[in-house]
Amino acid sequence: MGIFDSLNIGYSGLSTSQAGIETTSHNISNANTPGYSRQRIEQKANFPIHNRPSDVGAGVRVEEISRVHDEFVYTRMKGSSANVSHFEFLEKNMQEIADGFSDLDNLGIAQDLKDMYSAWSNLSENPDDESAKVVTATAMDSLAKNLNGANNRLTKMQDRLNDEFVQGIDKVNDIAKNIVALNKNINKVENVKHQNANDLRDQRDKLELELSKLVNVSVHKGNLNNNGPALQTDSGNLYNINIAGHNIVDGITFHPLDDSIASNKTKMTSVYITDHDYGKTDITSKIRGGKLGALVALRGDGIDQVTGKATHSKIQDYMDSLDSFTKAFTQTANSIYGSASQDKIVTDDLSFIDDDDKLLESEHFKAGSFDLVVYDNNGNKVATKPITIDESTTLNSGSNSIVSQINANTDDNKDNDATNDIDDLFEASVVSDPNKPHVLRINPKDSNSHYTIAIEDHGTDFSGITGTNRLFSGDDAKHVGLRSDILANPSSLKASKAPIDGNSDLAKEMVDLQYKKISFKNSDGTQSEQTAEDFYRYATAQISSDAQHASINKDAAVALNKTLTEQMQSVSGVDMDQELMNLMKYQTSYQASAKIISTVDQMLNTLLNLKQ
């Protein structure tokens, strides 16, 4: 070994110390850079010079510069970040929904119900008071409009969330595309042995974390080399990102997500992925976690092709509850108001049922009975005919049909006179012309008759279901409204069943509606018997509970994420005190190596002087 070998040893110490100083400076400069993993030099002794009696050292070399990164801790932190994003978005939107149904400060649908009952109570005490009728009509109109408004808010939110979903899918594609570009660059850099693309890997991890906040992803990065903190060895080409069982990133290959309208009945967008065989698979229902998972849970994962409604949607569940409330309440109110007498009875279009269909096989009708009541112009009951709805009852087919029962020759007024019963005064028929509305008509046989007819229900809600003498139009929250002619002329509102003034029996029944148990259809398809106010309170309590649940989950996710972030920071973060110590260590090493070189320089000078 010669004197120049000693010079090389000193130089190796200088260059290694310089690399250490550069790496430490890089760490200090990026101490506040989000997603940065501190780096360290891995140094090893150079291959020795084989000489007798033993090997002679040949200095030091930088094996590689690696980042300090624990993939296991990072994966846990990534999962917790996805949960935070998921529940933060849920909490924000659930709170917005809950605020719309808060019913505070004497405002809201629950208060509209109370105001309506109060108005009808006042009308029952003053049945001929025009101003009382105006107040009652205004209260019912306010209830209907607030139901319209609630439905409109939820519909707009559903549309807005759908737009955000589309934007989220675009962002997923952008991130995945950028990761593929990084994989290509990582592959180029790490094709050289012991050369690590540390900063590129940090950039990729940052994008991966951003992606996980959008949607649950499964990431495979090749084999792990457990050398202290876990180091990745995928080199970019063994890297895969999987969403809902499908790879969107295969190393340096990108499989984009596609979105398209799920049905022409809605704006709802579904997301598809094209696999290796170029087949498109709908993965909307499999989207979980992150912001997109929250979006799917709120706005729905698809469309029911029959109803056109969103499936598996919290917002749709709330809209269905609102529709269930509206339908059951207005049908019951309409059935009560249907007991007000009128010159003739004409139902709404009954196209949903054929003449020979069993009524009870339809979800609309209920078993029981109702009375047809005929009044004279003095308000006296002339005749009453009970009509039964049972398992064999149809609309207009067979002896037990509604039409046959109405037209049956019976002694309705019990006077043994076969000429003054309901079948003598009125006649029922169903319009079956395919070019005309399919309606049930009960018309007077004598156009100059002074008789009027009404339906008094006993649990079937026949009048409300078929729409005879409606009080409210529409049967869901979107379309419900006070009947237009009553809204235009509140004085036409009736407080009495009989065609006379001064009576308020109908108004009193409307007041008693607040205590009546109504059959409501729950969002899970079951039926419940509750008052209108109780059902509405239950529905809004569910919204409030869901909002609170989202808030609790968010707080728990934030707490866990904070712990895991601190743990990740303790592994990969830059400790300024440690880096300053390293800087001093490498500075001292550099000075010592420089001393070696200066010593060798003096030795060379001595040799040269000997020659002189």
3-state secondary structure 118-165: HHHHHHHHCCCCHHHHHHHHHHHHHHHHHHHHHHHHHHHHHHHHHHHH
At residue 230, the pLDDT reads 45
Written as six digits, the tokens of 57 are 């050292």
Reported as type and span, the H/E element at residue 469 is: none
Of 294, 293, 326, which Cα lies nearest the Cα of 539? 326
At residue 264, the pLDDT reads 66
pTM flag (> 0.75): yes
Q: Mean pLDDT of residues grouped by 10 in the chain (612 residues)?
A: 77 89 92 91 84 76 88 90 95 92 74 94 93 95 94 93 94 94 88 85 93 92 57 64 89 87 75 78 90 94 84 92 93 92 91 90 87 91 92 92 92 82 92 82 87 90 88 92 93 92 91 92 82 90 92 95 92 90 91 88 82 62
Dist CA 611 CA 439 (whole Å)? 128
Q: What is the per-residue pLDDT across 151-190, written as a single tens digit (0 to 9) for each? A: 999 999 999 999 999 999 999 999 999 999 998 998 888 8
Reduce the DSSP state of residue 1 to 3 states and report it: coil
Of 301, 320, 324, which Cα lies nearest the Cα of 161? 301
Q: Residue 34 burial (CB < 10 Å; 0-12/13-18/19+)?
A: exposed
Q: Largest Cα–Cα distance in the chain? A: 157
Q: How far is CA 112 from CA 118, 131, 167, 328, 536, in A?
A: 10, 18, 39, 16, 12
Of 456, 431, 427, which Cα lies nearest the Cα of 442? 427
Q: Are strands 368-375 and 452-457 parallel, antiparallel or unpaired?
A: antiparallel
Reduce the DSSP state of residue 286 to 3 states and report it: helix
Angle between helices 109-125 and 505-512 (to 10 degrees): 150
At residue 417, the pLDDT reads 80
At residue 449, the pLDDT reads 78
Distance of CA 60 to the CA centre of its chain: 60
Of 94, 96, 163, which Cα lies nearest the Cα of 554? 94
Dist CA 6 CA 58 (whole Å)? 8
Dist CA 201 CA 37 (whole Å)? 9
**In the chain, where are the structural domains located?**
3-68+575-611, 71-108+148-336+523-572
In single-letter form, the type of residue at position 178 comes to N
Dist CA 118 CA 128 (whole Å)? 16
Instruction: Please confirm whether the linkage preceding 34 is cis (ω < 30° from 0).
Output: no
Reduce the DSSP state of residue 240 to 3 states and report it: strand
Opening angle at CA 457, ends 456 and 462, nearest 5? 115
Written as six digits, the tokens of 68 are 């300090």
**What are the E-state strand segments in 264-326?**
269-274, 280-282, 302-303, 310-311
At residue 229, the pLDDT reads 47
User: Residues 1, 49: contact at Cβ < 8 Å?
Assistant: yes
Dist CA 85 CA 215 (whole Å)? 9
At residue 220, the pLDDT reads 86
What residues pair up with 453 in beta bridges, in sequence order? 342, 374
Q: What is the per-residue pLDDT across 199-211, written as a single tens digit (0 to 9) for each? A: 999 999 999 999 9
Q: What is the per-residue pLDDT across 554-610, written as a single tens digit (0 to 9) for each? A: 999 999 999 999 999 998 899 999 989 999 999 999 899 888 888 888 888 888 887
Opening angle at CA 293, ends 543 and 244, nearest 5? 145
